[in-house]
Amino acid sequence: MNLRPTKQTPGDYKVRRPKQSEMIFGIRAVIEAIEAGKVIDKILIRRDLSSALAKELLQKLQGLPTPVQRVPAERLSQYTDKNHQGVIAFLSPIDFHRLEDIIPALYEQGKTPLLVVLDGITDMRNFGAIARTCACAGVDAVVIPARGGVSINGDAVKTSAGALHSLPVCKVENMQSALRFLRDSGLSVVAATEHTDKTYTQADFTCPVAIVMGSEDTGIYEENLRLCNEKVSIPMSGTIESLNVSVAAGVMIYEVVRQRN
């Protein structure tokens, strides 16, 4: 669980209203959803909410990889006109998988695992495009952080052309622990970064691989980059210094396909 106070201006309160079926309102309703095992993408709690029932909700969230944001009342009212009691939970349209279950299962099936790890990518359109490419290329799973990453909602599924209904997605609480687990499980963790002279075609992708892609503005977080076995770049020869991250991911993924075929 993560409690992250956020600072907003009135202009920040203009948000897209999800469908009513994508949200749960009210403290007791959210508690019941958690107890029923509903997959919740994130929860918004009114900043000054401190009732006994609210404390019970926070206790239920202990140990769960569900991002929790403390926000002003105005932010909550932008999502619904109903009596939300200071709490709104956003349901995930997909089920998440445990990374610790995915990897052993792939080896048991005789596969050479190929995973894509998305570090700090928050743009829904980029995520959806990457997921679609992953599904087309036969990627075994996508790994995203529980916090600081994209929120998976109905729009994300639509942008992926439905790929997220068939592509396993692993939401991890700690990205560094996840990268260590991948390395310990025999995968070569390869970072796509401009901070290297080695090009992506020089890497060996015929072994078990996890490709790490970072956000376009900050790239891969330094602490995560240090855990990668290898760093490769995509050569740039034009006046633009970088590719859109979804395009870059496609280049990397299909180099794996090329080498393995």
19 — pLDDT class (breaks 50, 70, 90) = low
Domains in the chain: ranges and CATH: 2-6+15-91 (3.30.1330.30), 99-260 (3.40.1280.10)
Q: Could you tell me which residues come within 8 angstroms of residue 52 by beta carbon, excluding any fewer than 6 positions away?
A: none
Torsion of CA 149, 154, 156, 162, to 10 degrees: 130
Q: What share of the chain in percent tops pLDDT 90?
A: 59
Whole-number pLDDT of residue 40: 87
Contact (Cβ atoms closer than 8 angstroms) between residue 80 and residue 21: no
Q: What is the pLDDT of residues 22-80, one digit of tens each?
A: 889 889 999 999 998 888 888 999 999 888 998 999 898 887 778 888 999 899 988 88
Contact (Cβ atoms closer than 8 angstroms) between residue 141 and residue 170: yes
Whole-number pLDDT of residue 148: 84
Q: How far apart, in whole angstroms, are the C-alpha atoms of residue 52 and residue 85?
A: 13
Q: How far apart, in whole angstroms, are the C-alpha atoms of residue 111 and residue 106?
A: 5
Q: What is the pLDDT of residues 109-163, one digit of tens each?
A: 999 999 999 998 999 899 999 999 999 999 999 999 988 888 887 778 888 988 9
Average pLDDT over residues 189-211: 96
Contact (Cβ atoms closer than 8 angstroms) between residue 146 and residue 65: yes
**Which residue shows structure tokens 């529980």?**
146
What is the residue type of 244?
A: N
Contact (Cβ atoms closer than 8 angstroms) between residue 193 and residue 220: yes
Question: Among the ranges 98-102, 153-157, 216-220, which has the highest mean pLDDT value?
Answer: 98-102
Average pLDDT over residues 246-250: 96
Per-residue pLDDT for 182 more than 90? yes
